Structure 1
């Protein structure tokens, strides 16, 4: 009987091709939308996480100034509280620290020949590249001797290299930063855009002391200390130890607020993952509404089918068909619509995800869990919304059904 019911279901769908396609359209669009929306949401999540991870593994950032509280502004002069000696103390006294890189930065116009480019100049130490997951494409890193002697040497990002030098190798060339000559000793590998859309390759790196004393007019403070913890397991402890050390070095009383801020990228990444996960769930739920609409369409068309085939049902009952035979026949028809619509929707959703990635340049991630869940839901929708019409058909009085015109 199951095979016969399945054959009758397919025959009924084929006999009304346009109606069947229109009925499945809600399921097709719903499944495709769920898969496409979740793939976009997961793509955004992966891009944000990769971008944050690209800033540095197990990274802790120490910046001057207390975090704002209740809209209160930072105290005057609080942005000058961190010094290179603080960075050296962290490297020397805090257990679990792998590398420490103090830095200052400012926008400068970079000139080479008749080409010029406005970019961020980062004054730092040789550890910066390792702490911030930066690799050299060519040339060499700055050295501790460059920092000690305030050498005018520079490492440039690929965006700066392309705009100033084009196809020419920048290594050994001279650029002018704030009218001071600097020799290019290295070019960084491209890292692309960050999650915020900024160009991570638009940067120039020079020795910390050179930036402090020759570019930014004799400052002694630093604007950030980038700390790399030895592992993710000790990052919270390292963050607490840094806070304790800096409070002691800055002679802060127990009731005084910190005049610095310590953040770690693990917490930032977790917050970003939570936010993008919520967005993905919201997109999936919005797309899932169309599946419910498709289910209502299935119920509607099955009720029409029951009405059209009332005499057929009466004849089948008169010939001995039981309640469960009629119920099974119409349930199978509803499930077939759900299965067919789900399969077509999967193909359309996966294709749409690849098309969005290729045309719009968005990062998309196909989730097999989303595909299975969307397909299972489409089958459930077909079954759920087919129960009432199937039960109505199975409960028809055969005598009244045979009289139906």
Structure 2
């Protein structure tokens, strides 16, 4: 009887049911789109951050470089060339290998960090900048003065120097543990990565862009400060720029820069992602003089269209969704009450025939819940269409990463510092749909039906059989 009457009444009032369902559908669809776009923003930001500090890294430990004192020439590049008697035209070349970005930490700091409560893994790395100068001197010629060889003072004409300066970045990687650190933000597209036994091997992995620029291939040799390294792999970054141009074993990097048992960065992976802040506080308390930077700290420095769109989705979009939902629920409730008011004679007659107020209320609530579920189905369909449209279009967003924790470049998580003060990335926005989002939409549909049914049921429960008899013509 309940379902028969329900089906008949919904069919008889199709227009009113469609209006209620459409209002709820609009609100639910907006919630799905905003939720999926917000999830896409988080994924895009995650890609940007992972391109800086590597997959699996939760935080880094560094020590800010001390600013040089006025007049202090230490740390500035110095290049010395031997005098040659062979005349002009002979090429001269020298490399300057410098630790960049941070003050070095003792390798024992890596062990100490790894022993802190809540730390699962800790590995060290050494960031270097290599400046290469090569060129040649041209010897000038002495021209005699006026009056021939014995007359007047001669002068030197011609001569000079023609030198080219190139710089590139090298990162010393702990090859015994490649699970965390900057190299995890790239994929080996050619060749292989390091083996755990190659702690002191003269091997290198080159960034794909740098390899193309320098025409490097697998098996080629690159010379860093007089030491030749064999290219064993080509790494392609997942997004953005590579962390360094070349990766070599950390022991080799320490030898090149005369930084034995020194690192610039300690990469940390925690045992529980919910305890990142607690682990950060523990490290700062137990290891003085260091700066601990988490992904959340770095996320605060993200600017550009990605940050703007994220703010809009999380703030404006969230409140807009709430406002539309509240309006849809109110409209559904008012329309249900209005429909009940127009059915005074019907409900009054049913009560006169013996229907209890509870039965009448359940009938009204049942109709409203069905309207809500219909609106939920329509809203989910519209929301999925909107989310898939965003994913299909995949608008490109820009993200600018600023320096944090006293870094000299964009490696805010303590990674190797790039050559500029900040780094720009381009990421494609998607709108992934999760089961949680669909579940939320179904819950909102049921809630909307129940709210509308509550309004209508309250109005129906107050009707009396006498009201129907007064309206009989």
TM-score (norm 1): 0.65
2:109 aligned with 1:90: yes
Q: Is the 8 A contact 1:119 1:203 kept in 2?
A: no
Instruction: Please report how far the alpha carbon of residue 308 of structure 1 lies from its aligned counterpart in structure 2 after TM superposition.
Output: 3.4
Q: Does the C-alpha gap of structure 1 residues 13 and 176 become closer, same or farther in structure 2, counting only changes over 3 Å?
A: farther
What is the CA–CA distance in structure 2 between the aligned matches of 1:301 and 1:352, rounded to whole Å? 27
Q: Does the C-alpha gap of structure 1 residues 87 and 239 become closer, same or farther in structure 2, counting only changes over 3 Å?
A: farther
Structure 2: segments with no counterpart, 5+ residues: 70-74, 76-99, 116-120, 133-165, 302-306, 395-427
Specify the alignment match of 1:262 in structure 2.
292
My pick for the range that moved more, 384-393 or 54-63, is: 54-63
Q: 1:199 aligns with which of 232, 241, 256?
A: 241
Q: What is the total number of aligned residue pairs between the two structures? A: 353
Q: Does the C-alpha gap of structure 1 residues 125 and 310 become closer, same or farther in structure 2, counting only changes over 3 Å?
A: closer
Which protein is bigger by CA-based radius of gyration?
2
- Give the superposed CA RMSD: 4.9
What is the CA–CA distance in structure 1 between the aligned matches of 2:167 and 2:343, rounded to whole Å? 75
Other structure's SS at 1:392 match = helix
Q: 1:335 aligns with which of 353, 362, 369?
A: 369
Specify the alignment match of 2:236 in structure 1.
190
Q: Which has the higher contact order (CA 8 A, sep 6+)?
A: 1
Report 1:123-162 matches (<5 A): 123-125=171-173, 127=175, 129-132=178-181, 133-134=183-184, 136-137=188-189, 138-139=191-192, 141=194, 145=200, 154-161=204-211
What is the CA–CA distance in structure 2 between the aligned matches of 1:331 and 1:91, rounded to whole Å? 64
Instruction: Please report how far the alpha carbon of residue 185 of structure 1 lies from its aligned counterpart in structure 2 after TM superposition.
Output: 0.4
My pick for the range that moved more, 154-163 or 344-353, is: 154-163
What is the CA–CA distance in structure 2 between the aligned matches of 1:182 and 1:320, rounded to whole Å? 98
Specify the alignment match of 1:250 in structure 2.
none
Give the helix-richer structure, 1 or 2.
Answer: 1
Instruction: Please report how far the alpha carbon of residue 335 of structure 1 lies from its aligned counterpart in structure 2 after TM superposition.
Output: 1.6
Q: Does the C-alpha gap of structure 1 residues 157 and 333 become closer, same or farther in structure 2, counting only changes over 3 Å?
A: same
Q: Is the 8 A contact 2:334 2:455 kept in 1?
A: no
Q: Does the C-alpha gap of structure 1 residues 357 and 164 become closer, same or farther in structure 2, counting only changes over 3 Å?
A: farther
Give the strand-richer structure, 1 or 2.
Answer: 2
Other structure's SS at 1:190 match = strand
What is the CA–CA distance in structure 1 between the aligned matches of 2:67 and 2:342, rounded to whole Å? 80
Other structure's SS at 1:226 match = strand
Report 1:230-241 matches (<5 A): none
Specify the alignment match of 2:390 in structure 1.
356
Q: Does the C-alpha gap of structure 1 residues 187 and 244 become closer, same or farther in structure 2, counting only changes over 3 Å?
A: same
My pick for the range that moved more, 24-33 or 278-287, is: 278-287
Structure 1: segments with no counterpart, 5+ residues: 67-73, 109-117, 248-257
Instruction: Please report how far the alpha carbon of residue 224 of structure 1 lies from its aligned counterpart in structure 2 after TM superposition.
Output: 2.7
